[in-house]
């Protein structure tokens, strides 16, 4: 073997008298009294000299006096920084220029690639060979390594061990609440500048777009539970602004069960499956929940919403969203106003009915997740308008309720909702786990221009949401997971911890410093986040106290407002929901307590619920915590009814079934499907089986769904067929008759040709409403097909026809 030639030893230079020896610049544990001269030929000496110059340039901390006093506290000044003469002082190592395929080169100045777009971590394996996690190509992915064909598996099989070990650790702890969720990417677009109210980045100029990621969720159920449970829905929006991430973490209901975060663990323990037998899943119809809320009258307003159709939305795209709490807008001058956030779907607010929700949960537990995915894949992008209620501290003082109380709304009649922008979801995630499951929302994530109020429930959420992510995502560096990383530059002195991704250049990880020229330095009040100094200018008793303001004790006025603002059919649904939930209880005393509470909301409601529970006498109303509540400003608010928000998108993304069987008029059916698709609907041909259906003229039609795998309650409307053979076949098919019956029972629209009326007769469906008038949801399909389809589409756009509802149902 050839020997490597020895390197020639460098000649020693004799240092000049009075100067530091060059070797001193290479020591890391001691140094001379004077810094090195900065020999241009010696990078180490230059680095030492430039660091010395930086440190000498900051003989003291000039910002220290500014840390004291109230005035400095509300308007902090920017930190001091000194620009280094070169990149050397900030280097971790002089060897950083020695690049390789792994190390790369010198870090870009001022850069942090962990906030780059998600393209940096997207993986596409098209045309690639299979490898281990270490990049080793795998020759055989079918068999473990054994000693002989029938011998034992060997411990040295690192490929098998890596594969199994990773598989064993794929799951992470699910969220305690909001475990079941679905998400999508999109953008927020501002209509007009809101700079008179806020300096927040998304609202600074007309037309400005901000990337967003949105996660919708149920609250009670586990990760694998059903989508259509009666429940609050989470509506969490992560704005990736150019000044950091802002998480608007809300729900589809504008109020909550409790007023103080101290009760949040109690609420969740009460509503979750009962701990002795872990039932029921994703349901509030059990003893522990109703025992808790019947003893917490502040929950009454929320119960009205949860027992209404708001708690069983038709889809994520047809439900509102709310920030729940009062927040603050802060402008460039530091002036502050209160704000509440409202998301309104462009498709309108539409719900399921209870019978429909129960059946869908069995046929398709992923109903809402599938709907969101398919809308985006088909180009029917869900869209919401963001509105704000802006009001001053003086306004807040005049209200009959406390704006810090999360169990209260501000009626739109008192403070109108101003539209300020729109949000469009236009991209599905590439990977559910990496994005939807690992996304971390925290109410503490705000940006300059957004601040908190003194809401005691919000205060607990500010702590709890960050805390839970540390446990769920494995440590404090969850912000570096790609979906959570901001698009704004990230520079601070936080280091280390589990799963750290960023490789920080340099030796400084503290502030103030002089060795890195003072960087990164504090931004100061002009560019940085500054908390509003006076969160609310109310006349408060000073001193630490565990208590609530007196207005928090009015537990029933807004519950009554909500109930009285509903249409008669919505009121009937609320009564039916209470009846169902309370009928599931095993402790009669809890039922009686809840009915006693409802008497403080509405006597007719309490009587209806009591009658449905077989209670012959009404219990006495529960004692009120506040005997004489303030007179409400608003007694009826039409905006609280779902039916007040029909939407503006017609039949886009509506699932419409076209029934078919052998002998169908195929040409007409295909034309109907095409016409509906042209309006943005999602038509599906449903037959007794999938695949070929013989047409009356001898052709062949392809059904892409069957009566068995896509029952009637999964659709928004149905078109009955023409063709004597098809009608005769469906009239003797129990699944077809049940399909039509469920469409009718759930208030859906049916297009009914004259010949197909026999299907209604066979299903026992009357042509008229209970009062003898025409049913607007039964559209004749005779005559001009275009005219009939137009009338059909208009009827479908209503979503439902509650006029035909009876209790119990006629059909």
Q: Which two tokens stand for residue 610?
A: 């009591």
* d(C-alpha 79, C-alpha 492), whole Å: 13
Confidence at residue 570, expressed as pLDDT on a 0 to 100 scale: 97
Helix 666-678 and helix 785-797: axis angle, to 10°? 50
Give the C-alpha separation, 122 to 184, whole Å: 16
Q: What is the pLDDT of residue 434?
A: 96
Cα(170)–Cα(148) distance, rounded to whole angstroms? 31
Question: Residues 6 or more apart from 272 whose CB is under 8 A from it?
Answer: 220
Backbone angles phi, psi at 123, to 5 degrees: -120, 130
Structure tokens at 703: 């059904």
3-state secondary structure of 687: strand
Q: What angle do CA 770, 775, 780 make, to 5 degrees?
A: 145
Active site residue 166: no
Q: What are the percentages of helix, strand and coil residues in the chain, rounded to 5?
A: 35, 15, 55
pLDDT attached to residue 36? 64
C-alpha pair distances (Å), 636 with each of 301, 411, 464, 560, 565: 14, 9, 36, 9, 5
Closest CA relative to residue 350, chosen from 806, 683, 801: 801
Q: Is this prediction's pTM over 0.85? A: yes
The confidence score (pLDDT) of residue 17 equals 45
Quick check: helix, strand or coil at residue 102? coil
Q: Which CATH number fits domain 554-644: 3.30.1360.30, 1.10.3720.10, 1.10.645.10, 1.20.1370.20?
A: 1.20.1370.20
Q: Where in the chain is the domain with CATH 3.40.50.880?
A: 655-804
Looking at the structure, give the CATH architecture of the domain made up of residues 655-804: 3-Layer(aba) Sandwich (3.40)
- Among 797, 806, 804, CA closest to 717: 797
Which parts are annotated binding residues for heme?
Answer: 175, 215, 264, 461, 465, 472
What pLDDT, on a 0 to 100 scale, did the predictor assign at position 26? 76
Give the pLDDT confidence score for residue 42 in this predicted structure.
87
Catalytic annotation on 143? no
- The active-site residue out of 72, 169, 185, 251 is 251
- Burial tier of 277 (Cβ tally within 10 Å: 0-12, 13-18, 19+): exposed
pLDDT of residue 24: 66
* Contact assessment for residue 418 and residue 387, using Cβ atoms and an 8 Å cutoff: yes
Binding residue numbers: 175, 215, 264, 461, 465, 472
Per-residue pLDDT, 21: 56
Contact between 571 and 601 under an 8 Å Cβ cutoff? The reply is no
pLDDT of the residue at 4: 42
Where do you find CATH 1.20.1370.20 in the chain?
554-644
- How many CA atoms within 13 Å lie on the side-chain side of 137? 3
Catalytic site residue from 178, 555, 573, 801 = 178
φ/ψ of residue 317, rounded to 5: -75, -10
Instruction: Give the model's pLDDT for residue 784.
Output: 67
- What parts of the chain have a pLDDT lower than 70? 1-24, 35-38, 534-543, 783-784
CATH classification of 181-480, choosing from 3.30.565.10, 2.40.180.10, 2.60.120.590, 3.40.50.300?
2.40.180.10
Question: What stretch(es) of the chain map to CATH 2.40.180.10?
Answer: 181-480
């Amino acid at each position: 073997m050839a020997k490597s030639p020895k390197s020639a030893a460098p000649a020693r230079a004799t240092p000049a008298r009075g100067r530091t020896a060059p070797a001193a610049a290479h020591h890391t544990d001691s140094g001379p009294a004077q810094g090195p001269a900065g020999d241009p030929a010696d990078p180490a000496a230059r680095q030492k000299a430039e660091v010395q110059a930086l440190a000498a340039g900051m003989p003291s901390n000039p910002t220290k006096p500014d840390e004291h006093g109230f005035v400095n506290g509300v308007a902090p000044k920017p930190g001091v920084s000194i620009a280094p003469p070169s990149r050397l002082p900030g280097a971790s190592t002089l060897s950083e220029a020695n690049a390789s395929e792994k190390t790369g080169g010198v870090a870009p100045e001022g850069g942090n690639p962990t906030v780059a777009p998600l393209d940096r971590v997207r993986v596409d394996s098209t045309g690639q060979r299979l490898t281990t996690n270490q990049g080793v190509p795998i020759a055989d992915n079918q068999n473990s390594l054994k000693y002989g064909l029938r011998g034992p598996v060997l411990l040295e099989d690192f490929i098998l061990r890596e594969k199994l070990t990773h598989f064993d650790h794929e799951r992470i702890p699910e969220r305690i609440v909001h475990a079941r969720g679905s998400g999508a990417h999109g953008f927020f677009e501002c209509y007009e500048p809101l700079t008179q109210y806020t300096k927040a980045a998304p609202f600074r100029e007309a037309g400005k777009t901000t990337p967003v990621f949105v996660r919708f969720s149920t609250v009670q159920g586990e990760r694998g539970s059903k989508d259509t449970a009666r429940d609050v829905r989470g509506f969490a929006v992560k704005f990736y602004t150019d000044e950091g991430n802002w998480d608007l973490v809300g729900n589809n209901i504008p109020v909550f069960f409790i007023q103080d975060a101290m009760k949040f663990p109690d609420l969740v323990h009460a509503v979750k499956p009962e701990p002795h037998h872990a039932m029921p899943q994703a349901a509030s119809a059990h003893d522990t929940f109703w025992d808790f809320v019947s003893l917490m009258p502040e929950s009454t307003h929320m119960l009205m919403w949860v027992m209404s159709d708001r708690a069983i939305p038709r889809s994520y795209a047809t439900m509102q969203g709310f920030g729940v709490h009062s927040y603050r807008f802060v402008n460039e001058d530091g002036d502050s106003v209160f704000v509440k956030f409202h998301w309104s779907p462009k498709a309108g607010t539409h719900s399921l009915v209870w019978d429909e929700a129960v059946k869908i949960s069995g046929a398709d537990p992923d109903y809402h997740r599938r709907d969101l995915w398919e809308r985006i894949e088909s180009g029917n992008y869900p869209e919401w308008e963001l509105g704000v209620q802006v009001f001053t501290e003086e306004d807040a003082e005049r209200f009959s309720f406390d704006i810090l109380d999360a169990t209260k709304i501000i009626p739109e009649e008192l403070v109108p909702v101003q539209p300020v922008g729109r949000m469009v979801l236009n991209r599905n995630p590439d990977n559910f786990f990496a994005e939807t499951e690992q996304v971390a929302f925290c109410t503490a994530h705000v940006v300059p221009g957004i601040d908190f109020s003194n809401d005691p429930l919000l205060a607990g959420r500010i702590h709890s949401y960050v805390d839970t992510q540390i446990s769920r995502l494995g440590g404090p560096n969850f912000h570096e997971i790609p979906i959570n990383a901001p698009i704004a530059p990230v520079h601070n002195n936080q280091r280390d911890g589990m799963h750290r991704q960023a490789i920080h250049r340099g030796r400084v990880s503290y502030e103030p410093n002089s060795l890195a020229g003072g960087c990164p330095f504090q931004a100061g009040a002009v560019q940085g986040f500054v908390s509003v100094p006076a969160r609310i200018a109310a006349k408060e008793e000073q001193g630490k106290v565990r208590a609530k303001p007196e207005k928090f004790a009015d537990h029933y006025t807004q519950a009554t407002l909500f109930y009285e603002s509903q249409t008669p059919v919505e009121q009937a649904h609320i009564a039916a929901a209470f009846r169902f939930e309370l009928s599931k209880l095993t402790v009669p005393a809890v039922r009686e307590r809840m009915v006693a509470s409802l008497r403080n909301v509405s006597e007719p409601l309490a009587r209806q619920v009591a009658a449905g529970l077989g209670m012959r006498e009404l219990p006495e109303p529960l004692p009120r915590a506040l005997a004489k509540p303030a007179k409400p400003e608003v007694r009826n608010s039409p905006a609280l009814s779902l039916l007040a928000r029909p939407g503006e998108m017609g039949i886009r993304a509506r699932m419409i079934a076209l029934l078919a069987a052998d002998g169908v008029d195929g040409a007409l059916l295909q034309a109907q499907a095409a016409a509906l698709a042209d309006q943005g609907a999602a038509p599906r041909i449903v037959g007794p089986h999938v695949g070929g259906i013989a047409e009356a003229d001898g052709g062949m039609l392809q059904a892409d769904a069957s009566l068995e795998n896509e029952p009637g309650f999964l659709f928004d409307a149905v078109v009955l067929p023409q063709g004597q053979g098809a009608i005769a076949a469906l009239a003797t098919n129990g699944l077809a008759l049940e399909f039509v019956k469920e469409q009718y029972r759930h208030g859906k629209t049916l297009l009914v040709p004259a010949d197909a009326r026999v299907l209604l007769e066979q299903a026992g469906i009357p042509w008229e409403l209970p009062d003898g008038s025409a049913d607007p949801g039964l559209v004749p399909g005779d005559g001009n097909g275009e005219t009939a389809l137009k009338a059909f589409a208009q009827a479908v756009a209503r979503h439902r026809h509650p006029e035909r509802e009876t209790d119990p149902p006629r059909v």
